[in-house]
A and B are shown apart, each in its own frame.
Chain A
């Protein structure tokens, strides 16, 4: 099972025209896996037939669905595991040692349906060094639809199965019919707001930790560079940036330095660049 070159090229051009997001060759598997469900819903056996139908008839709803399917992050809880271990074992304790006001601010910059900011909230709750601290999490996304879902804080059985440790499920959720609802102790820590990363950021204060995971991959180089530069301006000088496993700042915005952490890395603003940041 694989997507044809014609179908991939059509989807690639469509997504670029609609969102400025670039799907490099090698993303065929991503395109196919994300579109298969849409194809089946539309009554096609495979992605090729569905894409051929779209390119011939160009139904606006269908085209929009394709763009959304490819620009929305697939979300599991504690995605990739390691960043959340790093947050709990290294980043949160280091920040806690450096702050006197017992308060931290975190920004989840592409929060999709909420799994990432809520995972951060659960991680903060499980960090002994932050007991009694106030951890505020701002979660933003381009899609109002995603934000509505995220704010509800309720997830299906299939959704909570994705990466959620059983111990977290029983501690932080309450069963609600077939679904599971996050407890207020977690949802109260997270505020959701619509935000387009491509545009200038609205005033939102300064963050100690920024999660910008698996979203830069979708933008072209100048856009990536611009986003990383503006993220620096909303970070505390000793703040920590988390990117996706396949992403890096090197060659994009060299004001960042990579710090190995666990099996992955976090990024910090280089010492000599910190003075340049206007507070």
Chain B
């Protein structure tokens, strides 16, 4: 069985499910505007290995990350979540998106554990699925393994 690189429509659909069920929001496409500079940004990665090899990489602004974590955990508006919780929530969002994508690919592919760091690689805007969170962009890029 040949497994093709996951396409953007699949990634977008997976994000829509996560937004709807975990964040109680509608994942609208982001209306193009100024891309943030991500100086306070976070980046999550999760690896897929097996019949398709590569990773999914999620990039978002730090404030957006905190809001998403708050929505996911049902935190009060003015509750400031510890960094650990924000990182964990962002990682879990990508984990669930990654699991859905992997399941839809078919074939034998394994999902790694998510990692979350400050932004190290600015997202390639043209190559990303960009979904809005309260008007701000959340990027997910499918990055096939080199070779």
Interface residues in chain A, defined as those with a beta carbon under 8 Å from any beta carbon in chain B: 37, 40-41, 156-158, 175, 177-178
Taking a contact as CB atoms under 8 Å apart, the answer to whether B106 and A178 are in contact is no
Q: Which of B7-59 contact A (CB under 8 A)?
A: 10, 13-14, 17, 20-21, 24-26
Q: Which of B10, B21, B24 contacts A178 (CB 8 A)?
A: B10
CB-based contact A157/B26 at 8 Å: no
| Residue pair B100, A178 in contact (C-beta under 8 Å) | yes
Identify the closest chain A residue to B105 (Cβ).
A177
Q: How far is the CA of A40 from the CA of B71 in the complex (A)?
A: 14
25 sample A-B contacts, Cβ–Cβ < 8 Å, listed by A number: A37-B26, A40-B24, A40-B25, A40-B26, A41-B26, A156-B17, A157-B17, A157-B100, A157-B103, A158-B17, A158-B20, A158-B21, A175-B103, A175-B104, A175-B106, A177-B10, A177-B13, A177-B104, A178-B10, A178-B13, A178-B14, A178-B17, A178-B100, A178-B103, A178-B104
Interface residues of B, count at CB 8 A: 13
The residues of B that contact A157 with a CB separation of less than 8 Å are 17, 100, 103
Q: How far does the alpha carbon of A37 sit from the alpha carbon of B14 in the complex, in Å?
A: 19
Give the Cβ gap from A216 to chain B, nearest Cβ, in Å: 30
Q: Cα distance A41–B26 when bound, in Å? A: 7
When chains A and B are docked, how far (Å) is the Cα of A177 from the Cα of B105? Answer: 7
A37 CA / B27 CA spacing, docked (Å): 12
CB distance from B103 to the nearest CB of A (A): 7
Within residues 41 to 81 of chain B, which ones have a CB less than 8 A from any CB in chain A? none
Name the CB-closest residue of B to A177: B104
Expressed in whole angstroms, the Cα–Cα distance for A41 and B10 within the complex equals 22
Cβ of B120 to closest chain A Cβ, rounded Å: 29
Task: List residues of chain B with CB within 8 A of the CB of A175.
Answer: 103-104, 106
CB distance from A228 to the nearest CB of B (A): 37
Beyond A175-B103, A177-B104, 18 additional contacts (C-beta under 8 Å) are A37-B26, A40-B25, A41-B26, A157-B17, A157-B100, A157-B103, A158-B17, A158-B20, A175-B104, A175-B106, A177-B10, A177-B13, A178-B10, A178-B13, A178-B14, A178-B17, A178-B100, A178-B103
Residues of A within 8 A of B100 (CB): 157, 178
